[in-house]
Amino acid sequence: MDNALPTGKLSRGKVVGKALLKIGAKKTKRFVTNGDKTQNHEEIADIIFDALGELKGVSVKIAQQVALGMPFLPPEYLEKISKSFNAIPSINKALVRKIIKTELGHYPQDTFESFEMTAFAAASLGQVHLATKDGEQLAVKVQYPGIKKSIESDMSLIHFGMKRFAKGQNVDHIVGEIEARLYEEVDYLLEAKNCDFFRENIDNKNIVIPKVYPALSTEKVLTTSFLEGLNFDSYMANNPTQEEINNYAQLIFDTFFYALYTLKHIHADPNPGNFLFLENGKLGLIDFGCVKRVEDEFLTQYNQLHLNLLEENDDQSIIQQYVTLGMIEEENEEEMLTFYTEIIKPLDTLYKEPLVGDSYDFKANNDFSKRGFEMIFEVQQKQFHSVHKLNEQFLFINRTLLGYYALFEKMGARIETGYVKDLMQKHNKQTQK
Amino acid sequence: MKISQSAKEKTKIKILQSAVDLIIEKGFDNASLREMAKNAGVSNPTIYNYFPSKEKLLYAYIEQKHKEAVASLQEIEDFHTYTLREQLQTLIETELELYLEDREFIIQIADMVFHASGLKMGKLYETNARFIETVDEMLSIAIEAEEIAEPPFREHLPKLFWDYYIMVVAYWVKDDSEMFENTTQFIDHSLGLAEAVLHSDILSKASDLGMFFFKTHMLNSLQKFATKQESFSKIKRKLGEVLHG
């Protein structure tokens, strides 16, 4: 069948328009029949993601981003999104040859010693090919032509759609952030820079980060050294021991917080596809398309807030810190308290749960993400019409963490929190000075 | 004096390139064969020997690019692992790639073909033998390998593909997107559609539809409009050829 990516404002607009028309009809139906809400969400999720499926490419990425960026999204949407993870359109051999020639100046056979025309993995908005040059095994990521241009039209669908379902919760801010992140993600040169940054600064012998080949990289082609390892699903299918699982989860967990507190950067995409499980308990980090820089001032406030949360300080002082962070809008005390207890508190209780004790067993708490989604769904049902901007750095950190927790739960891992708490305390002491 | 085939070929390419450069610089009408000869470093009689007219030179250029494209395809070691669609797409993309450095020249030709009366579209068809032969070969292999079923109008498909190719070039000439990304997508999408058609039995359905129209309407109207019995049977024969192969 035709795998083509619909492009051009007119044709995309038509697909978008059709989807919105369908949603409109469903919404009306619900008001008329006062039917079951859950059922309705499922239907709408179907319609939206059918439309997104038709748009393909960027939309899939947007869908992922929306899922991660909107903790208030009903679980039906998240389920749909998770299905779309590997649905990026494939780039056929003719196109791969053409892209390599356009981007690197020569056809694959003249650029590399060998080049596998069939991709071995899907990647963000493209696919990855195995190649060799000067005896080195390389991973060459190529991007579908025209992706960048279609971001804009796809985002207008997301913006319109999300506005309808977010019921007054802030959307503009997140949509803007997602759009910016997508533009960054289609720029492979930026990804190369981020990859180099992490490679140079992560000082852990168990973390392996590929080497970038700048002479073979452009905005649309990224060449790095090839890492030989298993992806998440294959790794888990091999029945690893509990100890191995725990070690990997610990490595992921500690590295995330190390990057946050020491490098002030986070790898803000918890997609398990970004990890490779290598020999001897080493972990490969690949795909640096979604890296977020964290500002010093924010980090200090964020850290203090979380230390306070862990120390179970009173709500009033915590609310003040949320106000400083821009997560709660300054208004009268009673309203702030209601907003906090109804919306924020259930969420932060969830986020901090694994951090409270010295260790946390995701195997024993294998309902963590289920409880999480249910709570988010519950929060989502509450009608809060006050529209204010939420701090996007805050959301990005916590959505990433939630993604990792869901991953640890899938692994059935147990993590120790000592190292991370030390980092938090150390950072606090340094900034207090 | 005898000149070897390869020396002849070299001279031809040299003349073609200096002709292209001169036409880009001065325009087709103002570029003289005399000056082309001078730039290529050959004598006047020599250039007339190779190209009796400027028009002939254009057709030779197009044929030359077909030849180079096919040679480029032959360099692809695993070309046999490409699907029919990938092979056709590679052919078109390679031709465009070859046109890229002479783009200004191609724009002039396209202008003459589609707008001015300078060149006849039909004349261009005389240049397509190698292209059609290549497409025909790809198609035969795909059928033989049972990648696709024998499609109706089989023998007309390569010519149809040439028409499609001319359309792509016309699109490319007008394409102002970055790195001609729009053309790349246009090719990808349209060939995706063509692939879908070849893999389904839409074509044979179209053939059924064609026969239906032919029997019920065309014959009637042809009989009505045909003044001479002769020309009518000629047209009928021709249509029969198209529909039955």
- Structural domains of chain A, ranges and CATH numbers in brackets: 9-88+148-168 (no CATH), 90-143+187-226 (3.30.200.20), 227-433 (no CATH)
pLDDT, one tens digit per residue, over B6-55 is 888 899 999 999 999 999 999 888 999 999 999 999 999 999 999 988 88
**Which of A7, A93, A101 is opposite residue B82, by nearest beta carbon?**
A93
- The residue assigned the tokens 């392996």 is A208
**Dist. CA A155–CA A269, nearest whole Å:** 19
Q: A272 or B209: whose pLDDT is higher?
A: A272
Residue B28 CB contacts under 8 Å (≥ 6 apart), including other chains? B54, B108, B109, B112, B118
Residues 6-25 of A with CB under 8 A from B: 7
Residue A432 confidence (pLDDT) above 70: yes
Q: Which residues pair with residue A139 across a beta bridge?
A: A130, A224
A184-193, A340-349, B81-90: lowest mean pLDDT where? A340-349
CB A414 within 8 A of CB A357: no
Please name the member of A4, A102, A117 whose beta carbon is closest to the beta carbon of B188: A4
C-beta atoms surrounding A117 within 10 Å = 20
Q: Give how far A195 is from chain B: nearest CA, Å.
A: 26
**Which residues are within 8 A (CB) of B34 and not within 5 positions of it... i.e. 6 or more apart?**
B44, B47
Of the ranges A49-63, A89-103, A362-376, B112-126, which is most confident? A89-103
A232-271 per-position pLDDT tens digit: 989 999 999 999 999 999 999 999 999 999 999 998 877 7
Per-residue 3-state assignment (H helix, E strand, C coil) for A73-137? CCHHHHHHHHHCCCCCCCCCHHHHHHHHHHHHCCCHHHHCCEECCCCCEEECCEEEEEEEECCEE
Asked if B193 lies within 8 A of A4 by C-beta distance, the reply is: yes
Pick the CATH number of B1-52 from 3.30.1370.100, 1.10.10.60, 1.10.10.10, 3.40.50.2000: 1.10.10.60
Q: Distance between CA atoms of A70 and B143, rounded to whole angstroms?
A: 51
The pLDDT confidence band at residue A381, using thresholds 50, 70 and 90, is low
Q: Give the pLDDT band (50/70/90) at residue B106.
A: very high
What ipTM goes with this model?
A: 0.71
Q: Which helix (H) or strand (E) holds A139?
A: strand A136-143
Residue of B81, B82, B93 lying closest to A98 (CB–CB): B93
Nearest CA in chain A to B177: A146
| pLDDT given at position A183 | 83
Partner-chain contact A146 B193, CB within 8 Å: no
Domains in chain B: boundaries = 1-52, 55-200, 207-245
Query: Comparing C-alpha atoms, which of B156, B147, B159 is closest to residue B195?
Result: B147
State the pLDDT at residue A56: 43
Query: In chain B, what is the straight-line distance between the N-terminal and C-terminal CA atoms, in Å?
Result: 48
Mutate to test the interface with B, among A3, A12, A58, A95 (most CBs of B within 10 A): A95
- pLDDT tops 70 at residue B92: yes
Q: What is the mean pLDDT of chain A?
A: 78
Q: Alpha helices, DSSP H only, in A114-237?
A: 147-165, 172-185, 188-201, 232-237
A292: pLDDT strictly greater than 90:
no
* The pLDDT of residue B176: 87
Q: Which of A17-21, A149-153, A274-278, B113-117 has the highest mean pLDDT?
A: A274-278
- Is residue A367 helix, strand or coil? coil
Mark yes or no for CB contact B184/A98 under 8 Å: yes
Spatial separation of the C-alpha atoms in residues A290 and A286, rounded to whole Å: 11
Task: Quote the CA–CA distance of A107 and A202 in Å, as a whole number.
Answer: 35
Cα–Cα distance for residue pair A246/A408, rounded to 1 Å: 9
- B interface residues, A as partner, C-beta within 8 Å: 72, 75-78, 81-83, 85-90, 93, 97, 177, 179, 181-182, 184-185, 188-189, 192-193, 195-196, 199
pLDDT greater than 50 at residue A55: no
* Pairwise CA distance, residues A70 & A293, whole Å: 19
Quick check: B172 pLDDT over 80? yes
Nearest to B188 among A95, A97, A107 (CB): A95
User: Torsions phi, psi of A204, nearest 5?
Assistant: -145, 120
pLDDT for res A382: 65
Hey, are the CB atoms on B93 and A7 less than 8 Å from each other?
no
The Cα-based distances of A426 to A257, A262, A322 in angstroms read 12, 10, 22
pLDDT band at A18 (very low <50, low <70, confident <90, very high): very low
Distance from CA of B136 to the nearest CA of A (A): 18
| B236–chain A nearest CA distance, Å | 36
pLDDT attached to residue A23:
44
Q: Which residues contact A337 (CB under 8 A, 6 or more apart)?
A: A315, A316, A319
| pLDDT over 60 (residue A227) | yes
**Dihedral of alpha carbons A153, A156, A162, A164, sign:** negative
For residue range A22-36, list pLDDT tens digits in order: 444 444 343 333 444
* Half-sphere exposure (Cβ direction) of A362: Cα atoms closer than 13 Å: 26
Which residue in B173, B156, B171 sits closest to B239, CA to CA? B156
Does A89 touch chain B if contact means CB atoms closer than 8 Å?
no
As to burial, measured by CB atoms within 10 angstroms (0-12 exposed, 13-18 middle, 19+ buried), residue A99 is: buried
The DSSP-derived string for B129-196 is: HHHHHHHHHHHHHHHHTTSS---TTGGGHHHHHHHHHHHHHHHHHH--SGGGHHHHHHHHHHHHHHHH
Selected for mutation to probe chain A from B181, B193, B197 (highest A CB count within 10 Å) is B181
Which chain A residues touch B71 with a CB distance below 8 Å?
Answer: none
pLDDT value at position B227?
42
SS3 A157: helix
Residue A214 to chain B, least CA–CA distance (Å): 21
- Summarize the confidence of residues A104-130 as an average pLDDT: 90
Considering only CB atoms, B86 lies closest to which of A94, A145, A146, namely A94
The CA-CA-CA angle for residues A383, A386, A389, to 5°, reads 120
- Token representation of residue A53: 């499926």
What is the structure's pLDDT at A8?
38
A285: left (phi over 0), alpha (psi -120 to 50) or beta: beta
Residue type at position A299: L
pLDDT of residue A147: 78
- Which residue in chain A is spatially nearest to B94 when comparing CA positions? A98
* Record: contact A145-B181, CB cut-off 8 A: yes
Helix spans in A311-414 (H): 315-325, 333-339, 345-356, 368-381, 392-411
- Of the two residues A346 and A250, the one the predictor is more confident about is A250
The number of beta carbons lying within 10 Å of the beta carbon of residue A193 is: 14
Q: Per the CB < 8 Å rule, is A94 touching B89? A: yes
d(CA A350, CA A374): 11
Q: Exposed (0-12), middle (13-18) or buried (19+): which is A30, by Cβ within 10 Å?
A: middle
- Cα–Cα distance for residue pair B65/B59, rounded to 1 Å: 10
Residues in B touching A7 (Cβ below 8 Å): 185
Domain spanning B55-200: CATH 1.10.357.10: yes
State the pLDDT at residue A76: 57
Is the separation of the CB atoms in A342 and A391 below 8 Å?
Answer: no
Given an 8 Å threshold on Cβ–Cβ distance, is A94 in contact with B90? Answer: yes
